[in-house]
Amino acid sequence: MAIDNKHPDFVARTPDWEQLSHSYGGERIIKSFRTKYLPATAGMLLDGITKAGPDGGKDAYDAYLTRAVFPDYTKQGVEAMIGIMHREKARIEVPDAMKPLLEKFSAQGEDIHTFQRRMNEWQLVYGRAGILVDVQSGQPVDKALPFASLYAAQRIINWDDGIRVQGIQRTEFVVLDESDNERVVGLEWEFKNRYRICEMSGTTSSINGNGSQEAPTATGTYQTATVAREDSLTNAAWVKPSIGGKTLNYVPFVFVNTKDLVSTPDDPPLLGLTNLCLAIYRGEADFRQNLHMQGQDTFVIVGADTDTKTRLGAGARVELPRDGDAKFVGVGADGLQAQKDAIDADKALASEMTSRLFDSTGTSYQSGEALRIRVSAKTATLRTIALTGAAAIKQVLLIMADWMGLSEEDKAKIIVEPNTDFADTAAASRTALELTQAKQIGYPLSRKSLHRHAVQQGLTQLTFEQEEQEIEQEDPIMPPQGAGGMAGGQLGRATGGSRVKRGVGASQEQ
């Protein structure tokens, strides 16, 4: 069997993952695929899309492609969501023996929070990732700490959930594409096709001496081999990774989707956004093509001598016969506004889909609590992804603890809690503004109470006295007219420390 055989679910999802990858890469990547994402017009096809020169369609398509603009909403959306998710670090606790892993968690030497951020990124882009726990062979027991390797969706090409034993189903077979450029001689690089096979001894990829495959089994020892595409499994150098002689009786691989940790891929959460971005891209191309054609009017002379050369511009002269005529013929502007309106509508929808969660501008006014409810509803997907990612990290840590031979008591100390308070800053800021405005019109609320609210909501870490000192050192700024008391913590200090009388409707200062 071929080393690079693909799982049916992988084959079905590949077109979506490719589109997501290209959209996330941005305009340069999208345009490099030319007609795959921006079809040529009928005229360009008739002229020959590969034919260069004034009579060919290639130059016209190149200009059409250059004028097109691909909106970068996918990358902007992912970066914004990752920023929201990691506004605060996850709470991660491990037993003392595993604490070195927090600082050097991955094969690249990343700390666990950086690794988690990268994992969440792949969850958002593809809806799918995978984590393999590995260990460096030949290390002393006291130094043989396991590490994690993260794989994007396109790298997990084949897998098998195995058979159920006593109601439990364990992954018994995973093939990972580790092909990459590799420096071979001096400064030269060469692309190497390489695949890592992770399986239980005795699974369907193991070969007997007579060439027949063994029946699948739920027992055995975890083993792995790295082979090239052209190699045969019969010649594979199988290794059974161990720490101090301790091997595993399961494949240390964790699937990470958006909602669960099973092997079946989830729907990519941003696929609809990339579809919309490509629709905008094609609409922009047609719109800009029409704008370009409007500025390229054709000069037509009726009744002119065909052998006479004509010049246009300042200082030029056009001579016509008695009944002749001269005029410009161009593309009309009919339909341009409709095209623009359609593109604007798509852009507005794309902006909504990129989770501009904290945009409180508009005609309606929302309180802090209303904003919290609105944001919570829109961040349901983010919350699910954060919780699923945290569950994956915990599962990886449990595998590491198992491999290190830690006790069940030590494993119980492993805690992974992600940040899910995505709306706190926006809601707290809006509530603080409401309270400040209420104080300005006479609500009986002290500045110390306002400061206490700010501390509770994470808006400041300073004490009231420290905050007062910081305010005293600032330059006094008069609030603009109609600002509704948005002088913030100064609360009248710009007017010499004035105070508002208590009592509803009070407007006098004392």
**Which DSSP string corresponds to 161-226?**
---EETTEE---EEEEE--EEEE-STT-EEEE-EEEEEEETTSTT-B-TTSPBPPP-S-S-EEEEE
Find, among 381, 122, 449, the residue nearest to 256 by Cα. 122
The confidence score (pLDDT) of residue 144 equals: 75
Find, among 180, 179, 163, 162, the residue nearest to 171 by Cα. 162
* 421: DSSP letter: -
Alpha-carbon gap, residue 119 to 409, rounded angstroms: 28
Alpha-carbon gap, residue 273 to 456, rounded angstroms: 37
Enumerate the β-bridge partners of residue 200: 222
Alpha-carbon gap, residue 378 to 386, rounded angstroms: 14
Which parts of 362-463 fold into alpha helices (H)?
A: 368-378, 380-403, 408-411, 424-440, 447-456
Q: Which tokens belong to 193?
A: 């096709």
Domain boundaries, the chain: 296-329, 424-495
The confidence score (pLDDT) of residue 476 equals: 57
The confidence score (pLDDT) of residue 408 equals: 94
Alpha-carbon gap, residue 457 to 427, rounded angstroms: 9
The confidence score (pLDDT) of residue 475 equals: 60
CA 224 to chain centre: 31
Enumerate the β-bridge partners of residue 383: none
The contacts of residue 198 (CB under 8 Å, 6+ apart) are 132, 173, 174, 175, 176, 222, 223, 224, 251, 252, 253
The confidence score (pLDDT) of residue 212 equals: 45
User: pTM of the predicted model, to two decimals?
Assistant: 0.71
Q: Which tokens belong to 339?
A: 């095209």
Question: For the purposes of burial, counting CB atoms within 10 Å of the CB of 362, is it exposed (0-12), middle (13-18) or buried (19 or more)?
Answer: exposed
Alpha-carbon gap, residue 495 to 253, rounded angstroms: 64
Give me the average pLDDT of each 10-residue run along the chain (510 residues): 87 96 94 93 85 82 90 88 88 94 92 96 95 79 82 95 67 92 87 91 52 52 87 78 87 94 91 90 82 66 68 68 70 66 72 48 45 50 90 96 92 92 61 78 84 75 85 63 41 37 36
| CB-CB contact of 221 with 252 (8 Å) | no
